[in-house]
Amino acid sequence: MGEKVKVGIVICGRYGTCAGGKCFRALREREGAFAAYAGREVELVGFATCGGCPGGNVEYAPEEMKRNGAEVIHLATGFVVGYPPCPYLDHFVRMIPEKFGLKVVVGTHPVPQKYYRIHEKLGTWEGPHWEELLKPTLGDESVRLAYD
**Domain-by-domain residue ranges, the chain?**
2-146
- What would the pLDDT profile of 78-91 be if each residue is shown by its tens digit? 999 998 999 999 99
pTM for this entry? 0.95
- What would the pLDDT profile of 51-105 be if each residue is shown by its tens digit? 999 999 999 999 999 999 999 999 999 999 998 999 999 999 999 999 999 999 9
Calpha distance 105→72 (Å, rounded): 7
Check residue 108 and give left, alpha or beta (phi > 0: left; psi -120 to 50: alpha). alpha
Q: For the chain, where are the alpha helices, taking DSSP H only? A: 21-29, 61-67, 78-81, 89-100, 113-122, 128-134, 141-146
Residue 34 scores a pLDDT above 90: yes
CATH architecture of the domain with range 2-146: 3-Layer(aba) Sandwich (3.40)
**8 A C-beta contact, residue 137 and residue 115:** no
**8 A C-beta contact, residue 10 and residue 62:** yes
